[in-house]
Amino acid sequence: MVNVCKKVLEGLSIRAKIQVSHVNIRIHMENMIAKPVFRVYEKSDFIQQIELNELINLAGGKGLGFIVGIHVRNTIKSIFTELCKRLNEDDPSEVFLLLFGKEDKEEKKLEPFFAFYNKGQKIDVISVAELVGGNINT
């Protein structure tokens, strides 16, 4: 999951011709049975809405895109389910995730993070590696 997030951020950076540290992907769900919606921003400026399959292709998952898509969709749904439960929030449209990357200038590597929002307020930030239990290859 960490590597997928890195590749997506890097791919969008190249495609939009912006610094990878300026790429933000807002992920939200209208309800728990809907597909996640992905909106790409340069910092806070909207660039485009993008489909999950396109994100998977950017991450290099062309051949197994359908399988990867199911995994990513289920992971996002699990995050939203748990987040709504912890916040006592019945409406998942009040919650969104922001995927972004921080560059370690010394090591020249990108680490992806999720910021969690409820009703427009940031409530937490966690690295993707920490979110998936520290297993960098998931």
Is residue 137 in a domain? no
Asked if 79 contacts 97 with a C-beta cutoff of 8 angstroms, the reply is yes
Amino acid code (one letter) for 138? T
Q: For residues 106 and 23, which has the higher predicted lDDT (pLDDT)?
A: 23
| pTM for the predicted model, two decimal places | 0.87
Percent of the chain past pLDDT 90, that is, above it, reads: 48
Is residue 138 in a domain? no
Is residue 19 in a domain? yes
Q: Say how many domains are in the chain.
A: 1
The 3-state DSSP class for residue 8 equals: helix
pLDDT of 42-79, one tens digit each? Answer: 999 999 999 888 888 877 766 666 677 788 888 889 88
